[in-house]
């Protein structure tokens, strides 16, 4: 694990795993899977904000359509008591996207950081 950034990435993966496991027990599998699709959207947005990688207009359009699609699918579960699980799934997606963005920004080899991150939920 390469230094402090490696520990940060491992921690983010670990927190993402904890949020994922929590979401599994508190929301439906379908909602969990569709919310986790936000990982790519969060990665693109974080890269835009922090790495100055401007997405193409087609990517922005796809992100907007993705938000609408997930809102339609997950919207049915609002009011069923799955809100906490849905939020945990969203947190999992955000943690993994943050880990990916920090890894890319560092330029270092982070191949084993996700394995070290398993220690946290373990």
What's the pTM value of the predicted model, to 2 decimals?
A: 0.85
Residue 101 pLDDT greater than 70, yes or no: yes
Count of C-beta atoms within a 10 Å radius of residue 112: 12
pLDDT, tens only, 33-92: 888 888 988 999 999 999 888 889 998 898 899 888 888 877 776 667 678 888 899 999
pLDDT, tens only, 1-34: 678 888 888 999 999 999 999 999 998 888 888 8
Q: Give me the residue spans of the domains in the chain.
A: 3-117
């Amino acid at each position: 694990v390469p230094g402090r950034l490696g520990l940060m990435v491992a921690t983010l993966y670990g927190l993402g795993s904890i949020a994922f496991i929590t979401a599994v027990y508190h929301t439906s599998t379908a909602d969990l899977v569709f919310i986790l699709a936000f990982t790519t959207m969060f990665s693109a947005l974080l890269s835009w904000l922090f790495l100055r990688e401007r997405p193409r207009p087609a990517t922005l359009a796809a992100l907007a359509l993705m938000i609408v699609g997930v809102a339609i699918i997950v919207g049915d579960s609002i009011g069923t008591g799955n809100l906490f699980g849905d939020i945990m799934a969203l947190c999992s997606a955000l943690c993994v996207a943050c880990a990916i963005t920090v890894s890319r920004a560092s330029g270092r080899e982070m191949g084993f950081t996700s394995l070290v991150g398993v220690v946290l939920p373990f």
